[in-house]
Chain A
Amino acid sequence: KNEVEQSPQNLTAQEGEFITINCSYSVGISALHWLQQHPGGGIVSLFMLSSGKKKHGRLIATINIQEKHSSLHITASHPRDSAVYICAVRSLGGSNYKLTFGKGTLLTVNP
């Protein structure tokens, strides 16, 4: 079993829909990251969370440390949101700031 599990693996939505991507992890962490990877391959860091909730534009990320679970929400989705969304965690006591990645969620937003 992977230390970081994401669901769903694939998600197709219509423009305007509310999107939720989930991430569960099995280890104690110091931080959780949500990343966005576009078809060209480049990766953008969206959020870094250690507790609570963060919001940036139409994106919201939440984390429940006790339940070892995080969600990424996209409100009023748009075709330009189509990308792979990756959850990554840095384990407690982990050396050298090494991240463990989920397998990613491929989001396709249709116009």
Chain B
Amino acid sequence: GAVVSQHPSRVICKSGTSVKIECRSLDFQATTMFWYRQFPKQSLMLMATSNEGSKATYEQGVEKDKFLINHASLTLSTLTVTSAHPEDSSFYICSASSGLDGYTFGSGTRLTVV
């Protein structure tokens, strides 16, 4: 079946540094990639939607200059958390769609900013 590989699974970084999270669709073309954030015991919160080759669409309240999304190819999308702060500590997860109502989720990245 369809697989999305997300890396890293865990990352600890110092406040003020940037962290890049990568999602690759391994055996299908991801025309659309969704990036979510999840706080403990909460549901998934959509941060942004990106289509290959175009700028990401950010949800209200999500800072596009802080959460940089790149979807340069049909198999790779990246989320960069810039100038990370402790409040950015969270679980980030991507989901890829090939446009046929199917979604494949990555395994998630737990970010801790110290």
Binding site for A on B (CB under 8 A): 32, 34, 38, 42-44, 46, 49, 51, 57, 91, 93, 95, 97, 99, 101-108, 110
The reply to whether B43 and A45 form a contact with Cβ atoms under 8 Å apart is: no
Task: Say yes or no: A86-B34 contact (C-beta < 8 A), given A41-B93, A41-B108.
Answer: no
Task: Say yes or no: A41-B91 contact (C-beta < 8 A), given A101-B43, A101-B44.
Answer: yes
Binding site for B on A (CB under 8 A): 30-31, 33, 35, 40-45, 48, 50, 86, 90, 96-99, 101-104
Instruction: Compute how far the CA of A22 lies from the CA of B91 in the bound complex, rounded to whole angstroms.
Output: 26
The reply to whether B105 and A96 form a contact with Cβ atoms under 8 Å apart is: no
- Which of these, B43, B101, B107, contacts A90 with CB under 8 Å? B101
The reply to whether A96 and B108 form a contact with Cβ atoms under 8 Å apart is: no
- Could you jot down 7 A-B contacts, CB within 8 Å? A30-B101, A40-B107, A40-B108, A42-B108, A43-B108, A86-B43, A97-B99
Chain B residues near A42: list those with CB within 8 A.
105-108
Instruction: Output the nearest chain A residue to B59 by Cβ-Cβ distance.
Output: A98
Please give me the 9 A-B residue pairs with the lowest Cβ-Cβ distance, nearest first.
Answer: A42-B107, A43-B105, A41-B108, A101-B43, A103-B43, A31-B101, A97-B97, A101-B44, A96-B49
Instruction: Output the nearest chain A residue to B100 by Cβ-Cβ distance.
Output: A97
Instruction: Compute how far the CA of A101 lies from the CA of B103 in the bound complex, rounded to whole angstroms.
Output: 13
Chain A residues near B49: list those with CB within 8 A.
96, 98
Instruction: Compute how far the CA of A23 lies from the CA of B15 in the bound complex, rounded to whole angstroms.
Output: 40
Chain A residues near B44: list those with CB within 8 A.
86, 101
Instruction: Compute how far the CA of A44 lies from the CA of B34 in the bound complex, rounded to whole angstroms.
Output: 15
Instruction: Compute how far the CA of A104 lies from the CA of B36 in the bound complex, rounded to whole angstroms.
Output: 15
